[in-house]
């Protein structure tokens, strides 16, 4: 396995599941496996590109591990891979994506690919992706009236609108038009993507 290939840290306290994820991803990535939150922090270094993090672990929860990852200043992308249904508490969490178990091989591979692509974006675009993911998650889980009444959701929506308004100013940083299209697709901004295609 080439050292140039991306490195994924899988954090999962069910060994069989952790090993299955590792098997799925080893075709295209280098993989490290940690079977708990404390072990994950021991395995984490600047070489790690993506962390797949379970939320419910007995020694150190995924939420606590995530907070420590961010406190230590690591720039890796983090996806929560968990049986915990998302609630409004996710708005304040520093993850980039969220998968609810059971997770398919295709979904796991797609998530890792998307997170690796985001590593090439600047901080503002990365925040945009993260917020868009959280907004989509909440909208898939909550009734519209609950969303409208929740202050965290309203603040998230306002911040997302602000970042989207600034998106055009960051597009000059992308060298390939497919990357620009991927930004719009991932954010669900279909009207902007359609305008881009018309301009080509």
Tens-binned pLDDT, residue by residue, of the chain (200 aa): 556 799 999 999 999 999 999 999 999 999 999 999 999 999 999 999 999 999 999 889 999 999 999 999 998 999 999 998 888 888 888 898 999 999 999 999 999 998 988 776 767 778 888 888 889 889 989 999 999 999 999 999 998 888 887 765 555 554 444 454 555 555 555 444 444 444 44
Q: How many CB atoms lie within 10 A of CB 42?
A: 10
**Protein fold of 7-120:** Rossmann fold (3.40.50)
Residues of the chain with CATH 3.40.50.2300: 7-120
48 burial type by CB count under 10 A (0-12 exposed, 13-18 middle, 19+ buried): buried
């Amino acid at each position: 396995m080439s050292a140039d290939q991306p490195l994924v840290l899988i954090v999962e306290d069910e060994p069989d599941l952790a090993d299955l994820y590792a098997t799925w991803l080893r075709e295209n990535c280098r993989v490290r496996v940690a079977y708990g939150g404390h072990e994950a922090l021991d395995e984490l270094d600047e070489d790690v590109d993506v962390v797949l993090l379970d939320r419910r672990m007995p020694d150190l929860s995924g939420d606590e591990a995530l907070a420590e990852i961010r406190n230590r200043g690591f720039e890796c992308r983090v996806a929560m891979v968990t049986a915990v249904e998302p609630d409004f508490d996710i708005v304040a969490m520093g993850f980039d994506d969220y998968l609810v178990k059971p997770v398919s091989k295709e979904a796991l591979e797609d998530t890792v690919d998307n997170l690796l692509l985001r590593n090439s974006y600047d901080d503002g675009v990365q925040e945009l992706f993260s917020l868009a993911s959280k907004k989509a998650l909440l909208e898939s889980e909550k009734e519209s009236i609950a969303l409208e009444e929740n202050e965290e959701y309203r603040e998230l929506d306002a911040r997302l609108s602000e970042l989207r308004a600034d998106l055009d100013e960051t597009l000059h940083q992308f060298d390939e038009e497919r990357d620009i299209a991927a930004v719009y697709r991932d954010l669900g901004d279909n009207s902007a993507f359609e305008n881009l295609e018309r301009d080509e």
